Homo-oligomer: A and B are copies of this chain.
Amino acid sequence: MAHINDHYLKLKAGYLFPEIARRVREFSTANPAAKIIRLGIGDVTRPLPAACITAGKAAFDELGEGKSFRGYGPEQGYDFLREAIAEHDFKSRGVAIDASEIVVSDGSKCDTGNIQEIFGADCLIAVPDPVYPVYVDTNVMAGRTGQADVSGRYAGLVYLNSTAESGFLPAFPKRRVDLVYLCFPNNPTGCVASRAVLTSWVEWATRNGAIILFDAAYEAFISDPTIPHSIFEIPGARECAIEFRSYSKTAGFTGTRCAYTVVPKTLRGFDAVGSPVDILPLWLRRQTTKFNGVSYPIQRAAEACYSEAGKTQIKDLVQYYMGNAKIIRDGLAKMGIEIHGGVNAPYIWLKTPGNLSSWEFFDHLLTKANVVGTPGAGFGACGEGYFRLSAFGETDQVREAVERISKLGL
């Protein structure tokens, strides 16, 4: 028998979403007539934009002809997509990101999970609490932590408390850390970082020689024109940040799979003897060795997001979901529930009424209103007493969910 990676055994067995699925399944089996409305896992429900479908199908047709057939593409993505991204996602907002700094992938979950591989095993890692579990779990699997305590916090990780007092902005690390994960607009709290807040993070990273791993998967949902969409809108970020972007929520690609990571050429780490090392070639080496590029039809579908038709369709999608967010916000506010997020983000983060624990509230909502949300405790110790509702449902379902919740008399 070969020796396994023992760090895997530190992972808590009950990953959040499987546990939710288990409880829902159990309830459904016992109550087959219950019409369950799912606002839990942040999965989209609206059809893929028509422009993406047309482009994806046309690409399949290309693959069917000898003249236009394509085999292996560049692992880092086709230039047509990287250039469209540079132009439409960055240059159009006055941000200088070159196409060669963009690495296309099959998802931000993959990218935010894999990025730690190019850093030293001895790097100190900071994560917000509450947090998207992938940032934590992948560092556990890589051996950068000890065991988890009863609250689920792993020894060796630095947790940045994000509480109501700070508007759910993570606290700055009190000790030296090498890498910090940030996510704005935030999953799960729906909070955003102003230009001033992002600037203070870039200044902190610059001062401390740290690298910010910036997850901007939800940037398309920002409506406030003063909020930066990219950390690279902040001077100095090119020297201290990596950014993750995704088509999953923006264009409904959760099952279609396309994303990208921006690693500026000017970003450096250091090697064992303290010499500076460019980060972009490390990431390219990782991706060209352990990944083989995104499927050609999918890259064409992603490119179509930047066509005139695609842009309009995506805008409509975002508006649809943000309409749902407003319905949830307005409904919960009327019930006197404390709510956060849902304005520049598709998530509503609510204080559980009556001092219920977040899993108690989960069970209450599931069994009494047949509505599924996500217990805040699943995202970390600071999420206890909170609950996440997603705006990614169908509007009529969202409306009914709010109505059912209002009848609970919380």
| Residue ranges of A at the interface with B (Cβ–Cβ < 8 Å) | 1-6, 8-9, 11, 15, 41, 43-48, 50, 53, 56-57, 60-61, 63-66, 69-73, 106-107, 109-110, 113-114, 117-123, 134, 137-138, 141, 143, 178-179, 209-211, 252, 254-257, 268-272, 276-277, 279, 282, 285-286, 288-298, 301, 394
Which residues of B are found within 8 Å of A1, using beta-carbon distances?
209, 211, 268-270, 276
> If the complex has contacts A106-B106, A296-B255, are A141 and B64 also in contact, measured as CB distance less than 8 A?
no
CB of B119 within 8 A of CB of A2, answer yes
- B257 near A293 with CB under 8 A, answer yes
Complex contact B72–A41 (CB within 8 A):
yes
A290: chain B residues at CB < 8 Å are 109-110, 113-114, 134, 138, 141
Whether B72 and A46, one on each chain, are in contact in the complex, defined by CB atoms closer than 8 angstroms, is: no
Beyond A4-B271, A5-B119, A255-B295, list 17 extra A-B contacts (CB 8 Å): A1-B209, A2-B123, A2-B209, A3-B272, A4-B282, A5-B118, A5-B120, A6-B272, A9-B271, A11-B285, A45-B66, A46-B66, A56-B56, A63-B252, A110-B290, A141-B289, A255-B293
Chain B residues with CB under 8 Å of A64's CB are 47-48, 50, 53
Q: List 7 A-B contacts (CB under 8 A).
A: A4-B269, A5-B121, A47-B69, A56-B56, A71-B252, A295-B295, A297-B297
Q: Could you say which of B69, B143, B254, B288 contacts A45, with CB atoms under 8 Å apart?
A: B69
**Residue from A4, A72, A119 having most chain B Cβ neighbours under 10 A:** A4
A295 CA / B137 CA spacing, docked (Å): 23
By the criterion CB–CB under 8 Å, are A295 and B57 in contact? no
CB of B3 within 8 A of CB of A289, answer no
* Known interface pairs A3-B270, A47-B65, A271-B9; A292-B257 also in contact (CB < 8 Å): yes
Q: Contact between A120 and B3 (Cβ–Cβ < 8 Å)?
A: yes
Which 6 pairs from chain A and chain B are nearest by CB? A3-B120, A43-B71, A113-B290, A2-B178, A4-B269, A71-B254
Instruction: Quote the shortest CB–CB distance from A394 to chain B (angstroms).
Output: 8
**Contact status of A72 and B254, CB under 8 A, knowing A5-B121, A297-B56:** yes
**Known contacts A72-B255, A117-B141, A269-B3: A291-B110 contact under CB 8 Å:** yes
Report the copy number of this chain in the oligomer.
2
A2 in contact with B66 (CB, 8 Å): no
B residues in contact with A137, CB < 8 Å:
289
Report the minimum CB–CB distance from A236 to chain B (whole Å): 14
What is the distance, in angstroms, from A66's C-beta to the closest C-beta of chain B? 5
Question: Which chain B positions have C-beta within 8 A of A292?
Answer: 106-107, 109-110, 257
Collect the chain B residues with CB atoms within 8 Å of residue A301's CB. Answer: 60
The complex places the Cα of A394 from the Cα of B67 at a distance, in Å, of: 11
Q: How far is the CB of A121 from chain B (nearest CB, A)?
A: 7
- Known contacts A119-B3, A178-B3; is-contact A73 B285 (Cβ 8 Å): no
Nearest-CB residue, chain B, relative to A294 = B257
Bound complex: CA A137 to CA B65 (Å): 35
A271 CA to B10 CA, complexed, in Å = 12
List chain B residues, Cβ under 8 A from A254.
Answer: 71-72
Give, as a whole number of angstroms, the nearest-CB distance from A292 to chain B: 4
Residue on B with the closest CB to A122?
A: B3
Chain B residues with Cβ below 8 Å from A41 are: 72
The listed residue with most B CB atoms (<10 A of its CB), out of A209, A277, A394, is A277
Q: Known contacts A121-B143, A290-B113; is A211 also within 8 Å of B60 by CB?
A: no
- Determine whether the beta carbon of B53 is less than 8 Å from that of A4: no
Task: Kindly list chain B residues whose C-beta atoms are within 8 Å of the C-beta of A209.
Answer: 1-2
Which residue from chain B places its CB closest to the CB of A68 in the assembled complex?
B47
- Please state if A66 and B47 are interface contacts (CB–CB under 8 Å): yes
Find the B residue at minimum CB distance from A107.
B292
Given A70-B255, A292-B106, residue A269 in contact with residue B2 (CB < 8 A)? yes
> Given the complex, which residues of B lie within 8 Å of A50, measured CB to CB?
64
